[in-house]
Chain A
Amino acid sequence: MCIAPVDEMRKNHMTMLLHQRDKTVQQGIRGQPASLTGCIDCHVTPDASGTVARSDDEGFFCTSCHRAASVKIDCFECHADRPAEMISQLDWKSLNPINHSSLLAINQQSFPYALQFRLETRSMALNQ
Chain B
Amino acid sequence: MSLILIIVALFAALNMEHEGHYITGMDNQIVWGVPHVVAIFLIISASGALNIASIASVFGRQFYTPLSRLSTVVAITLLIGGLSVILLDLGRPDRLLIAMTYFNFSSIFAWNIILYTGFIGIGIIYLWTMLDWQADKYRKPVGIIAFCWRLILTAGTGSIFGVLVAREAYDIVIMAPMFIVLSLGYGLACYLLVMCLFLPEQSWQVFKHRLSRLLAVFIVCGLATSLFYHGANYWWFDAQAVEDFLLFGDDIYPWLIWGGYLILGNILPLLLLGFHFNQNSQASTLLISSLVIAGGLVHLYALIIGGQAYPMPLIEGYDSTSSFFDGVIASYSPSQWEIMLGLGGFALSLFLAGFTVRVFRILPESK
Asked whether A and B interact, the reply is: yes
| Interface window among B150-158, B200-208, B225-233, B322-330 | B322-330
In the assembled complex, which residues on chain A have CB atoms less than 8 Å from the CB atom of B94? 74
In the assembled complex, which residues on chain B have CB atoms less than 8 Å from the CB atom of A126? 244
The answer to whether B321 touches A108, judged by C-beta atoms less than 8 angstroms apart, is yes
Cross-chain contact of A111 among B241, B244, B248, B328 (Cβ < 8 A):
B328
| Interface window among A32-40, A60-68, A96-104 | A96-104
The answer to whether A107 touches B321, judged by C-beta atoms less than 8 angstroms apart, is yes
Size of interface on A: residues with Cβ below 8 Å to B: 17
Interface range on chain B: under 10, 10 to 19, 20 to 34, or 35 or more?
10 to 19
CA distance A127 to B321 in the complex (A): 28
The answer to whether B319 touches A113, judged by C-beta atoms less than 8 angstroms apart, is yes
CA distance A116 to B244 in the complex (A): 11
| 8 A Cβ contacts from B225-251 to A | 240-241, 244-245, 248-249
CA distance A111 to B240 in the complex (A): 21
The answer to whether B327 touches A119, judged by C-beta atoms less than 8 angstroms apart, is no
The answer to whether B313 touches A116, judged by C-beta atoms less than 8 angstroms apart, is yes
In the assembled complex, which residues on chain B have CB atoms less than 8 Å from the CB atom of A115? 311, 319, 327-329
Q: Mark A114-128, 1 if CB is under 8 A from B, else 0.
A: 011101101100100
Closest to B243 in A: A123
The answer to whether B322 touches A104, judged by C-beta atoms less than 8 angstroms apart, is yes
Contact A119:B244 (CB < 8 A) given known A98-B323, A111-B328, A113-B321 = yes
Nearest 9 Cβ contacts at the A-B interface? A103-B323, A113-B319, A100-B323, A123-B240, A111-B328, A104-B323, A119-B241, A107-B321, A108-B321
In the assembled complex, which residues on chain B have CB atoms less than 8 Å from the CB atom of A117? 319
CA distance A117 to B327 in the complex (A): 11
The answer to whether A107 touches B323, judged by C-beta atoms less than 8 angstroms apart, is yes
The answer to whether B328 touches A122, judged by C-beta atoms less than 8 angstroms apart, is no
Q: How far is the CB of B182 from chain A (nearest CB, A)?
A: 26
CA distance A93 to B311 in the complex (A): 32
Contact A116:B321 (CB < 8 A) given known A111-B328, A122-B248 = no
CA distance A15 to B284 in the complex (A): 62
In the assembled complex, which residues on chain A have CB atoms less than 8 Å from the CB atom of B319? 113, 115-117
CA distance A123 to B325 in the complex (A): 23
Closest to B240 in A: A123
Q: How far is the CB of B310 from chain A (nearest CB, A)?
A: 9
The answer to whether B244 touches A122, judged by C-beta atoms less than 8 angstroms apart, is yes
The answer to whether B327 touches A120, judged by C-beta atoms less than 8 angstroms apart, is no
Q: How far is the CB of B241 from chain A (nearest CB, A)?
A: 5
In the assembled complex, which residues on chain B have CB atoms less than 8 Å from the CB atom of A104? 321-323
Q: How far is the CB of A53 from chain B (nearest CB, A)?
A: 24
CA distance A100 to B325 in the complex (A): 12
| 8 A Cβ contacts from A2-31 to B | none
| 8 A Cβ contacts from B336-357 to A | none
CA distance A43 to B329 in the complex (A): 50
The answer to whether B245 touches A111, judged by C-beta atoms less than 8 angstroms apart, is no
In the assembled complex, which residues on chain A have CB atoms less than 8 Å from the CB atom of B245? 119
Can you give 11 A-B contacts (C-beta < 8 A)?
A100-B323, A111-B321, A111-B328, A115-B328, A115-B329, A116-B327, A122-B244, A123-B240, A123-B241, A123-B244, A126-B244
In the assembled complex, which residues on chain B have CB atoms less than 8 Å from the CB atom of A119? 241, 244-245, 249
Q: How far is the CB of A120 from chain B (nearest CB, A)?
A: 6
In the assembled complex, which residues on chain B have CB atoms less than 8 Å from the CB atom of A100? 323
CA distance A100 to B241 in the complex (A): 29
Contact A107:B325 (CB < 8 A) given known A116-B313, A119-B241 = yes
CA distance A116 to B311 in the complex (A): 9
